[in-house]
Amino acid sequence: MSLTAEDLIRYLRDELNVEDQIDAGTELFSTGILDSVAMMNIIGFVEEKAAVEVRPADVTLDNFDTVQRIVDYAREQA
């Protein structure tokens, strides 16, 4: 399976109820749009959708602060 930016944005809107305008480059955590509870949900979604295992050491802003970074991370792990 693969994860796309559209999949993740849809998940953020539908499952995490994000109402802010977001695109692939929107900073999600460093701007406070999302919190650590949302991070746990996103990790579960990424693992399921992309069929990868997210290692705790990989959960950084470099890998998870934007939709594009998350998609890129999942693609690199596959």
pLDDT tens-place string over residues 9-44: 999 999 999 999 999 999 999 999 999 999 999 999
Report residue 66's pLDDT band, with 50, 70 and 90 as the boundaries. very high
Residue 78 confidence (pLDDT): 86
Answer for the pair 23, 71: CB distance below 8 angstroms, yes or no. no
What is the residue extent of each domain of the chain?
5-77
How far apart are the C-alpha atoms of 56 and 33, rounded to whole Å?
Answer: 21
DSSP 34: S
Top-tier CATH class for 5-77: mainly alpha
- The CB density around residue 3, as the number of other CB atoms within 10 Å, is 25
